[in-house]
Amino acid sequence: MPLASSEAREPVWERRADAVLGVAASAILFCMMVFTFFDVVGRYLFNRPIRGGVELTELGLLVLIFAGLPLVSHADEHVTMDFVDKWLGERALAALERFVNALCAAAMLFLAWQVWVKAGKIAAAGDYTDTLHVVYGPFVYFMAVMTALTGLVHLYRIFVPSPRKHLQGSA
């Protein structure tokens, strides 16, 4: 089966990065689903919930959401309002897209810096979860790294617009 025009233009490293993050996010979601199933069965059939189940679910959701941020940004799948698009020409739309990506990159990189600073404070304090005593620091550092990666994706999209964007009007 031949590649679609957008896949043919997308560099191999982008497809691989998407695949790695996509598989990781899928694996996390699958693990959370299986874990939740056993937690519910244990809770309601045997009156024995999994110890620390809420904590593990919260941490799993954190990893899932922040691992998905770069994927969503790279695929240009954010919720958008296109009510202005019909009044703008193609060059103006391209300029608007670059401006929005620059704004998103600046915001994400600023947030990543702030989260990194907060992660340092949390790690220094040795904060951990109540039941399982899982240390929060690595998770907050992960949030910072994924937020920075999202910012870098938006920086990249300033110079290399998403090929998928041009296919939306033809559907």
Q: Which of 35, 62, 52, 43 is nearest to 137 (CA)?
A: 62
Mean pLDDT of 144-163: 91
Mean pLDDT of 49-65: 90
Q: Which amino acid is at 121?
A: K
**Could you read off the pLDDT of 74-83 as tens digits, one per residue?**
878 777 777 7
Mean pLDDT of 141-148: 96
Looking at residue 167, its pLDDT comes to 44
* pLDDT over 70 percentage in the chain: 89
Is residue 62's pLDDT more than 70?
yes
SS3 80: coil
Residue 60 near residue 31, CB atoms below 8 Å: yes
pTM: 0.80
**Could you read off the pLDDT of 84-95 as tens digits, one per residue?**
777 878 888 888
- Mean pLDDT, all residues of the chain: 85
Looking at residue 142, its pLDDT comes to 96
Q: Which of 130, 160, 135 is nearest to 54 (CA)?
A: 130
C-alpha separations of 167 from 80, 123, 128, 164 in Å: 15, 45, 46, 5
Sign of CA dihedral 93, 96, 102, 106: negative
